[in-house]
Each structure stands twice: as C-alpha cells, then as structure tokens.
C-alpha cells in the first residue's frame, strides 16, 4: 500500500514542528550562555558596551548553532516517531500495509531539504554574521592592531602603531619560511596621509619585524633610494598568519571554491577550507543519517517497553558519532586522511549502520 499524501503531510508537519521548537530552545540557551561569557570577557574593556556585547552574542550564534542542527534533527525525529507510535498512529499505519520506509520518507525528505537550505541559503547569511563578529571581537575584546586579507590580487596586511599605520601587498606567501614575494608597502601618518612607499623583492617574517630585502624607498618630493635591507615592525607571528586568513566559517558556501583556488595560487594551504566545504556538502546526507538513526532507536519501544533506555541509547550513539567525526576531521586536517573521506565518512557510515539496524528489526 502506498503512503497517502494526507498522512505524509501529517508526519512531515509533526517533524517540522518539533524541529523548530527544539532548534529555538537550543539557540536561546546558546545565546544566553555566549552572551554571559562575552560579558565576562568585556568586563575590563569599557569600550565594549552592553549593546555591543549583546549584538556580538547574536552574531556568534551561527558558530555553535550550525553544530547543533544534526542533534535537533535527531531529537525531532526521535520524538516524532516515538509520539506517533505511542498514540498508536503508526501501529494503524503498519496494520494497513504501510512499511517503516514509507512513513519515514516525509521526515527524510524534510531533513534533506533542511540540509540544502542550510548550506545554500542560510550559510551565506551565517558567514556574514561570523565575519562581522570576528571584526568586533578583534576590535573590542582582543585589541588587535593588525589584520590580514587575501584575494585574487594577492595578500594584504594592515598594521597600526603609534607612529601611524602601513599596508603591505604581496603577490604570494611562502608558508615554510613566512616569506612574501614582490612586496609593496604604503606607510601613512597618524593623519592618514601617505608618508612613503616601499617596493621590495621579498619580506621575511622575523621576531617582531618584517625583514625586507632589495628595497626601493620612495617619499613624496624626494628621489627614490635603494636599500639592501629594511625592517618593518609587526606584532604578527607565523601562527597568527596561518589562523587569520578568513576562517572557513566566515566564507559562504558559494565563495569557498574561489577562495580555495586563490589560496592555492598564493601558496597557502587550502586544506582547512576544502575540508569545511566538503563537510558542508555532506550536511544533507548527515541529516538524513540522523533521521535513520532516530528511527532505529525510537520505533522499537512498542515491543516490550524500555522507551527511555532506547532513546538514551540513541542520544549516546549520536554523541559517539560526533566524537568520531571530530577525530576523523582532525586527521583530515593533519593530512593523515583524505579530505573527502574525512568529510563524508561519518555521514556515510551512520547511514549504512542505521539502515542495517532497521532492516534487521523491521524486515527480519
């Protein structure tokens, strides 16, 4: 017997209802905890007002919010299936010849749709929010005086000090030595007027300064001078440079491929961004896996009790899955595991195990 459209809409509507309710509750809790933590960090910074901290808490929601989506899918699926079974609605559906695979279809469909909407529509919005949050965090909580950016035109760096500021442009960066190639430096006064321009063949990051070589030093109204060496003060370190280039979660799903290509052209490793992109691609499959996992643990309680034990086992299984997922992704970032395998393995393995469990319990 085929699943009717009315029953399909009813089951899908139940799932969406509990998904929205669970997501709203978790996001409210996350927002409260994050705001309290931000207030603690801003306690000794008078420039970080209450309004700024509250807005930062809102902007930071996507950072953890995206991580809880699979758990909300799992909880919504478990509660939907458990409630429909407890009220005997699925019992009647089974008695009429509808299989478990049929009444899971609307929930699976909505889980995949939520995953697609998340990566294609919501992710660009979340990325813009995270980028704004990092800007405010650097300004009000970290007090950083330097910034980095990378684009198709190369690497840009901005440094502010008591004597003014300067901007560095380089065509490429050699990560092993932290050496920039074909460098241009624009030095400005505190009044933001151009004071000098330097053109160098290379610049190597040392302890507290950039060591420029083969430098042409230009000042307004004076002839250019050639300097074999020139030191430019900076507070950057190699670790900060590697960590400061647009973190993956500040880039939208649509912008990541071009940014990965730019990183490759500039000489920087795109491993972290490529892993994040594949992880986003695997989200719909992971969400479907959560529904299958929910069904495997919540549809058996009708056969002898033990509801809480089964639901608890489902939650523990999900926690183990995400611990394993983090371990595999850490291996992917280290280069020990291929990026595609690190991103797709958790979702794929969960789907196979959940389907096997359902086949065993439902189809004998």
* Sequence-ordered alpha helix ranges (H) in the chain: 5-41, 50-86, 89-95, 100-117, 123-136, 238-244, 256-266, 271-281, 283-298, 307-334, 339-362
The separation between CA 121 and the C-alpha centre of its own chain, rounded to angstroms, equals: 14
In this prediction, residue 314 carries a pLDDT of 73
- The b-or-e profile of 333-347 (16+ CB within 10 A means b, else e) is beeebebeebbbbbb
Least confident range of 66-70, 92-96, 134-138: 92-96
Per-residue pLDDT at 134: 83
Residues counted in the chain: 364
- Say how many CA atoms lie within 13 Å of 284 toward its Cβ: 13
This prediction has a pTM of: 0.77
3-state secondary structure of 259: helix
Query: Do residues 329 and 142 lie in contact, with contact meaning Cβ atoms separated by under 8 Å?
Result: no
Q: Which residue has the higher pLDDT, 322 or 362?
A: 322
Q: What is the mean pLDDT of residues 295-302?
A: 70
Q: What is the pLDDT of residue 340?
A: 92
Checking if the pLDDT of 15 tops 90, the result is yes
Question: Where do we find the tokens 């003014």?
Answer: 164
Query: How far, in whole angstroms, is CA 159 from its chain's centroid?
Result: 27
Give 4-13 pLDDT, tens digit per residue. 788 888 889 9
Count CB atoms within 10 A of the CB of residue 80. Answer: 26
3-state secondary structure of 161: strand
Burial status of residue 332 (CB atoms within 10 A of its CB: 0-12, 13-18, 19 or more): buried
pLDDT bin (cut points 50, 70, 90) of residue 271 is confident
pLDDT at 143: 63
Question: Which is higher by pLDDT, 248 or 111?
Answer: 111
Per domain, the residue ranges of the chain are 5-142+266-362, 146-234
- Percent of the chain residues topping a pLDDT of 90: 31
Q: What is the pLDDT of residues 132-169, one digit of tens each?
A: 898 888 778 876 555 566 665 677 777 777 777 888 88
First to last CA, the chain: 19
Is pLDDT of 188 > 80? yes
């Amino acid at each position: 017997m085929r699943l009717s459209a009315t029953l399909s809409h009813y089951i899908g509507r139940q799932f969406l209802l509990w998904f929205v309710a669970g997501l709203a509750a978790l996001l409210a809790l996350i927002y409260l905890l994050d705001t309290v933590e931000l207030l603690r960090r801003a306690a000794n910074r008078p420039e970080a007002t209450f309004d700024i901290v509250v807005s930062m808490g809102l902007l930071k929601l996507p950072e953890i919010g995206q991580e809880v989506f699979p758990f909300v899918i799992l909880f919504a699926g478990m509660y939907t299936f458990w409630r429909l079974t407890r009220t005997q609605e699925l019992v009647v559906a089974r008695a009429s010849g509808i299989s478990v695979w049929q009444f899971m279809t609307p929930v699976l469909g909505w889980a995949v749709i939520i995953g697609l909407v998340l990566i294609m529509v919501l992710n660009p919005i979340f990325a813009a929010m995270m980028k704004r949050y990092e800007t405010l965090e650097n300004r009000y909580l970290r007090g950083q005086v330097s910034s980095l950016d990378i684009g198709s035109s190369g690497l840009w760096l901005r440094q502010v000090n008591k004597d003014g500021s300067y901007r560095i442009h380089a065509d490429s960066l050699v990560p092993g030595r932290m050496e920039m190639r074909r460098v241009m430096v624009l030095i400005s006064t505190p009044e933001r007027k151009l004071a000098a321009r330097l053109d160098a063949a290379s610049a190597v990051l040392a302890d507290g300064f950039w060591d420029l070589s083969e430098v042409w030093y230009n000042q307004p109204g004076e002839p250019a001078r050639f300097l074999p060496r020139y030191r430019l003060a900076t507070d950057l370190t190699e670790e900060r440079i590697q960590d400061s280039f647009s973190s993956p979660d500040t880039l939208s799903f649509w912008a990541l491929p071009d940014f990965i290509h730019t990183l490759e052209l500039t000489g920087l490793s795109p491993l972290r961004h490529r892993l994040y992109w594949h992880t986003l691609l695997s989200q719909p499959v992971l969400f479907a896996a959560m529904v299958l996992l929910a069904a495997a643990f919540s549809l058996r309680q009708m056969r002898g009790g033990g509801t809480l034990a089964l639901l608890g086992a489902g939650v523990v299984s999900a926690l183990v899955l995400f611990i394993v997922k983090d371990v595999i992704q850490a291996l992917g970032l280290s280069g020990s595991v291929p990026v595609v395998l690190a991103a797709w393995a958790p979702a794929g393995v969960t789907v196979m195990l959940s389907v096997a469990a359902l086949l065993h319990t439902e189809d004998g």
